[in-house]
Chains A and B, each alone.
Chain A
Amino acid sequence: MPKPGLLTVCSVGLACGLVAAAARTGVVSAQGPAPSATPAVSFNREILPILANNCFACHGPDEKKRETKFHFDTQEGMFLKKGVIEPGNAEESLLIEKITEPDPKERMPPPESGHALTEKQIGLLRRWIDEGAKWDTHWAYVPPTRPELPSVSQTSWVRNPIDQFILARLEREGLKPSSEADKEMLLRRLAYDLTGLPPTPAETDAFLADSSPDAYEKQVDRLLNSPHYGERMAMPWLDAARYADTHGYHIDSLRSMYPWRDWVISAFNRNMPFNEFAIEQLAGDLLPNSTREQKIASGFNRNHMINFEGGAIADEYQVEYVVDRVEATSSAFMGLTMGCARCHSHKFDPITHKEFYQFFAFFNTVPEFGLDGRTGNAVPVLPLPNPEQQARLDQLNAAIDAHEAALADDIVAPLQREWEKSVSEKPAEPDVTELAAHYELDGNFSDISGRYRHGRTISGEPTFGAGQVGRAVSFDGDTEVSFGNVGRFDHGDAFSLAVWLKGQGNLPISVFQKIDVDGRHGFAWMLDDITLVGIQRWAARLSVRIAGDSPDQAIEIRTRERLRFGDWHHVALTYDGSGKAAGLGLYLNGVRVDTDVARDALSGTCATDAPLRVGAKALGRPFVGQLDDLRLYNRALTPQQVEDLAIHHPMRVILSGVIGKPSKDEAERIRTYFLTYAAPEAVQTNYRQLKALQSQKDDLVKQIPTTMIMAEMKKPRDTFILARGDYRNQTDKVQPGVPAMLPPLPKDAPLNRLTLAKWLVDPAHPLTARVAVNRYWQNYFGYGLVKTQEDFGVQGEPPSHPELLDWLATEFVRTGWDVRAMQRLIVTSATYRQTSRTTSALREKDPENRLLARGPRVRLQAELIRDTALAASGLLNDAIGGPSVMPYQPKGIWEELAFGDGFSGQSYDQSHGPDLYRRGMYTLWKRTAPPASMATFDAPDREKCAARRAQTNTPLQALVLLNDPTYVEASRALAQRTLLDVPKDANARIAYAFRLAAARKPTKPEIKVLRTLLDGRLKAYRLDRAGAMKLLSVGESALNPKLEIAELAAFTTVASVILNLDETITKQ
């Protein structure tokens, strides 16, 4: 008797010994045991998988790979040539001849393909031909029709139509459903499935006490209306939507998509119908007068990874983003592996290479950059001010508009022209009294002070470019310039140095050095104490040292303020000759600034004949950046004189025209100068106010969160078929479209995402409703009715209960895609309400419980294991939504992999206070280093759409639950809570703690085991109070001083065992 499905297909082709072994040990196929009657061979379930697996590589949908015209993926292709398949007559069919050919050179499939058919498969093919060789479209591509409810004998068990389908199958198999789970088990299962949190003892008590016939349904409705319902429903969707908090590629810095995540939670809590849920996520931005919420929803297709690696090619990554959208959309909504058709037509499913790019075209017109995201979210983004922020923003914008209106060109320009005329004749020179040297640095190193002490280049090639007063000189780290013996002074001499300065890079640099050979006498300027002030922007403090015998015999001051690298600053040093640090003054942009005194003990001479140098490598890193208009004076400049140099002089020079017609940048500087210093008082006031308003607005905008959304380009990008999927190989241009095997798009509808989204949720679509209900089913029972949630195609697993799947899909559409009603339907079925206790006979017959003759027993997913410990211990902060948080994590996990300075998300900034105790789903998800404890429990990295998770069972999981501070602290908190809530009776305490975690009362033997542990540990910790204190010090939550240390520590070990129970981390 043939066995359908898994065994048949898998026992060929691959080294699939596992399955063979499974067969021998009585393990049955995915669809469960074979039915006892012998129905006709099913083309869909038994024949198509054989053909797909063994023949499609050469006789399949990929026309380029076909070696003959003859192919098996369509009816037409299959019967193209007479005699290949003779319906009703296997012996006359060439197909059978070919697959049974004794000569391996002639046999199909050819041995070198690695494929071979088993006797069983050949037998099936024979029978199928003898039975008439009926061809059928793959089941999943035929829209579901509502099946009749099957008749069953044990009608009293049936609570709703689900049960009728399940029971009909069980009865066919000669099996009986299990009894209903006891109330404690049932409520715990339900609470996890609908909210992800264990029921409280009070909730369990209320349910136990409620003897009304609809007691269970009341619990269902209570939990369906819990705000945590939306969180629980969102969790699997976040996997499918590859939601994460970082960009994923290379530097992997932070993004902010939590508004999208919160939209998903809220959509479930508002019971948004699934069709709207799909439309808003795929095309919320294109809905007429789309709301802010709808735009946020469209972020579904911005959750993909984004790159900005230096040197990466934008076009390449822009294509990757769109491919990811195609993969995520087709997988999450349709269970299709469309990504397989990126490089060539799909090998198994009827999706051509061209159709892939037609689908791609829908997602290819987003106004985005291939490389983006350096500073956070990548465009297009939506700012999300809260109402107060919006009000403040409106207010500021109005005020700014008003001020700008008052400063409009027609008002200000005439005034400015008049002023310019008055000052433009000849620039008044700044005070030149005692000017020792003046280097304009406009193209050479000439001194124009009258003393003509010209500088010279010692090494490198200095270049000259736009500066602050005319041109400026650039130093690249290799350039060294000597200005000769200028600026020679001793500690008794007054002195000033003024210069325009722009530093560059991210390292400390030396600016000026006038130091003798042994490095002891003279003076030096440094830019050091570097800090990061923005994305890839650094700033440094300027320090100036005058030394008699460096480093100790010196005066040295340092600016408190930091100078941003990449910006021009006018810097002036004045010295009064007092020999004291107080005699030094530093000015930034014409204003004297606060300084710290680093040294104040000058003695000995500081005079030296060494040259004044810039860019020398002798002391510190050489200068990298620009200098302009360097002046040295043999006296201390007055504040007014410094201001004149920094502010007024450059303007006069520009206006005089001596350096040519003002550039755009210079024109702007003139206007700013005029408004700040020279305009009539009223205009100046207005301008000052405008500046203040703009700065307030900048600060506000920085605080307003954003989220990435979809949008359309004004001029849409063309889409081309890419040969072999390579962005460089554009071939034919295509228009947006959908695969021909699926229903067509409505005629005359615009070819955009909105049309696509509506098409997807059209009741005629064969896949969408099935895939959605199958995802729900998987959440409850561990497996979907179609086990391969990610693949409903030809290579996917056929449904275990095809009629039930179709009934649920049509019911979903019939109820207007009512998500909550669908959950209610499933959890109120008798099928769901069965006990998960099982017998060995049943387990042997149906080890995976695909026939559902018992209730589900599945390990909790990673996030819920955390939530359980926090909820049981009372530490849980059950706030919903908001920015992601960073709970405890061993030090260095991020840092050891990270790029380092200059970007967000490189070091782990652990949260404190209530943020330490948020639900697992709010843990910040860094793709290149996913949350360590959760990854151990099979949480995915969220790089790509994931339709379901693995369920492994490893020793690393034991280490997490026993030793991760999260769980150690939760154990202590659970112990603390228990000792405070329950009076002295140890057994009662054990029962209380046990119940908080497992939501049932422990049995006597269970209490006994824990009591023995408690008593033993109590003795031990009374002798080891220091050890007890150490254990209790884990975690940041407060320790209750009222509790006895040894007792609390001993009970903490009991609580830890309770949190480690298999039952605690399992839904059963």
Chain B
Amino acid sequence: MNCKHEIDLHLTRRQFFGRSAQGIGIGALATLLGPDLSAFAASLNEARDPKTGGLVGVPHFAPKAKRVIFLHQSGGPSQLETFDYKPMLAKFQGTQIPDSVRQGQRVAQTMGQSQLLVAQSTFKFAQHGQAGTWVSDLLPHTAKIVDDITVIRTMNTEAINHDPAITFIQTGFQQPGRPSMGAWLSYGLGSENQNLPAFVVLLSQAHAINTDQPLFSRLWASGFLPSSYQGVRFRAGSAPVLFLDDPPGVSKTTRRQMLDALGKLDELSHAAYGDPEIETRIRQYEMAYRMQTSVPDLMDLSKEPDSVFEMYGPESRKPGTYAANCLLARRLAERNVRFIQLYHRGWDQHKDLPRDLALQCRGTDQPTAALITDLKQRGLLDDTLVVWGGEFGRTVFSQGKLTDANYGRDHHPRNFCMWVAGGGMKRGAVIGETDDYSYNIVSDPVTVFDLQATILHVLGIDHKKLTYRFQGRDFRLTDVHGEVMEKMLA
């Protein structure tokens, strides 16, 4: 029986409210709880934490991280030009990749390409930090923070195309319909901020020139969880949340008077019908009113000192850019927003990889590193988990024509690089090894499910226990898979 589904589908509805109870939707937004709701919260004592709206009993054990910033690099950044240094490729340059290495792996767009010629990175690598982590010269700023991050060189996925791969890494399933990681966390952990959503999504456009991959709102959707757990997209510009601004010509006084009238009328309605849902609605209008202040306050960077903009780079002054979003991510973390999901487009280098990857790196390297440094300086890195990476890697062989200066790379699911920092993760470590072609994993593979399980683990969640019953089945983010990667943990 779908009891949880039932209760949550009608979460805000009458079953929770006695005559005197004051109602509120529990969910990503529900945590815009006013302090006066303690009576209501008390009535839910065993069910939901009164402060956060999260499930009681969750976290399952003491968390290391309280929040997550997920820097998704959409398109599939090449591991070969970033973190997976392969000196042997100089020797293999221009040769056909051996079948013994390929092992019949499915390919995406190079089906039908007669030759699959090995292409070495045109960018140089060097070791950095005390850890001696190999980083290419495309990422000079990241190179400076390698002792704060753990690079996973052996991420692997099942999917070979963008749509299923990105859906998989965000929801634990290649086909649509499951809740995203942020929705799971909002559902399980609730929020510690009273005036902002628990799950915020920020989007930025490519720095590369070639055509971009699309994104889908399902990536931050709540799937079969109630819609209140879905991510709320904050957009650049005057109305970061849809319809946040009052209409033109409606002054603050007018809005206040309207809400007062509305509240009085709804109270009358409540007196007549006795439906506690009406009280909930009155509260939601007040919360909306408060958001009209809290959200612009969050988005207003004018009080940030110049030194901060210098740290994040020149684009950080331009709303909507990756750099500005990184800065915004720090501000959201400061405000205890639970799950901060960035998407940066433009990492799909099927062709002109040297040019376009350089553009992507130039646009993102400094702000990414600045975010880590900034969090660290503010003491936030200890309980904020930062995750960097895309949905798959890229093939060692060139897609299209290979020259010394130019080549492309197709999608490669068998190994790719991501990194994690802060919140209970090791610092200055490198996980896993791939073969000389960066085509197969030699040791310590980390699956998408493993990564998800480990992210949940540092948040104090047993990934096997955070489940939700839908259509008669207990679903979880990691389906029936996933192991916590002890090697990644501090």
Contacts and interface: CB of A to CB of B under 8 A. Distances in A.
A797 B2 contact: yes
B411 A311 contact: yes
A794 B265 CA distance: 45
B35 interface: no
Contact of B284 (A840, A941, A958): A958
Contacts of A843: 14, 19, 274, 276
Interface string A279-318: 0000000000000000000000000010101111100000
B443 interface: no
Interface string A789-803: 011011111000000
Contacts of A133: none
A790 B2 CA distance: 10
B317 to A, nearest CB: 20
Interface in B1-41: 1-16, 18-19, 23, 25, 27, 29-30, 32
Contact of A30 (B6, B9, B221, B244): B6
Contact of A930 (B8, B47, B217, B411): B217
Interface of chain A, main secondary structure? loop
Nearest to A1029: B249
Given A27-B15, A954-B27, A1029-B249, A793 B401 contact: no
A1054 B250 CA distance: 12
A1009 interface: yes
A796 B6 CA distance: 11
A348 B471 CA distance: 11
B109 A928 contact: no
Contacts of B58: 15
Interface string B465-488: 101010111100000000000000
Contacts of A5: 1
Nearest to B291: A955
Given A928-B214, A951-B9, A953-B277, A18 B47 contact: yes
A942 to B, nearest CB: 10
A899 B4 contact: no
A337 B48 CA distance: 30
A952 interface: yes
A312 B213 CA distance: 14
B214 A1056 contact: no
B261 A311 contact: no
B354 interface: no
Contact of B277 (A309, A310, A859): A859
Interface stretch (B117-125, B160-168, B298-306, B428-436): B160-168
Given A17-B56, A21-B43, A953-B25, A1061 B249 contact: no
A20 B47 contact: yes
Contacts of A25: 16, 18, 43
A963 B243 contact: yes
Interface stretch (B135-143, B145-153, B225-233): B225-233
A1057 interface: yes
A370 B177 CA distance: 20
A6 B10 CA distance: 15
A21 B15 CA distance: 11
Interface stretch (B234-242, B363-371, B416-424, B450-458): B234-242
A796 B8 CA distance: 16
Given A897-B214, A951-B9, A307 B163 contact: yes
A955 B294 CA distance: 13
B273 A836 contact: yes
B197 to A, nearest CB: 9
B1 A9 contact: yes
Interface stretch (B92-100, B251-259, B327-335, B380-388): B251-259
A104 B49 CA distance: 31
Nearest to A948: B9
A6 B214 CA distance: 42
Contacts of A27: 15-16
Interface in A10-55: 10, 13-22, 24-25, 27, 30, 49, 53
B248 interface: yes
Interface stretch (A76-84, A246-254, A484-492): A246-254
A960 B243 contact: yes
B1 A49 contact: yes
Given A795-B2, A847-B14, A941-B217, A956 B467 contact: no
Contacts, number: 350
A672 interface: no
A944 interface: yes
Given A963-B243, A964-B243, A1061-B269, A943 B176 contact: yes
Contacts of B273: 836-838, 857, 1068
Interface string A349-363: 100000000000000
Contacts of B268: 1003, 1005-1006, 1009
Interface string B201-223: 00101000001111111100100
- Interface size on A, as a range, is 35 or more
A1017 B274 CA distance: 31
A63 interface: no
Contacts of A337: 471-473
Contacts of B247: 962-963, 965, 968, 1030-1031, 1034
Contacts of A953: 12-13, 23, 25, 277, 280-281, 284
A964 B228 CA distance: 19
A22 B285 CA distance: 26
B403 A1012 contact: no
A114 B462 CA distance: 12
B391 interface: no
Nearest to B410: A311
A347 B248 CA distance: 56
Interface string A1042-1057: 0000000100011011
- Interface size on B, as a range, is 35 or more
Given A312-B108, A348-B472, A1061-B265, A899 B211 contact: yes
Given A797-B1, A943-B177, A1057-B261, A952 B226 contact: yes
A839 interface: yes
B259 to A, nearest CB: 8
B102 interface: no
B310 interface: no
Interface centre among B1, B214, B275, B284 (most CB of A within 10 A): B1
B472 A794 contact: yes
A844 B18 contact: yes
A684 to B, nearest CB: 43
B55 interface: yes
A1023 B278 CA distance: 35
A766 B247 CA distance: 54
Given A476-B401, A943-B177, A954 B4 contact: no
A1020 B254 contact: yes
B37 to A, nearest CB: 14
B442 interface: no
A740 interface: no
Contacts of B227: 935-936, 938, 950, 952
Given A337-B472, A788-B1, A959-B241, A929 B217 contact: yes
B87 interface: no
Nearest to A305: B176
Given A320-B175, A954-B25, A1013-B261, A892 B235 contact: yes
Interface in B155-173: 160-163
B239 A890 contact: yes
B307 to A, nearest CB: 30
B111 A311 contact: yes
Given A837-B273, A963-B247, A311 B108 contact: yes
Closest 4 interchain pairs by CB? A795-B472, A311-B108, A1031-B249, A1030-B249
Given A950-B227, A958-B281, 14 more contacts: A17-B48, A18-B48, A27-B15, A313-B160, A897-B215, A951-B12, A951-B13, A953-B13, A955-B288, A956-B232, A963-B244, A965-B247, A1009-B261, A1062-B269
10 contacts: A25-B43, A311-B111, A890-B243, A899-B213, A950-B227, A952-B228, A959-B244, A1032-B249, A1062-B282, A1066-B277
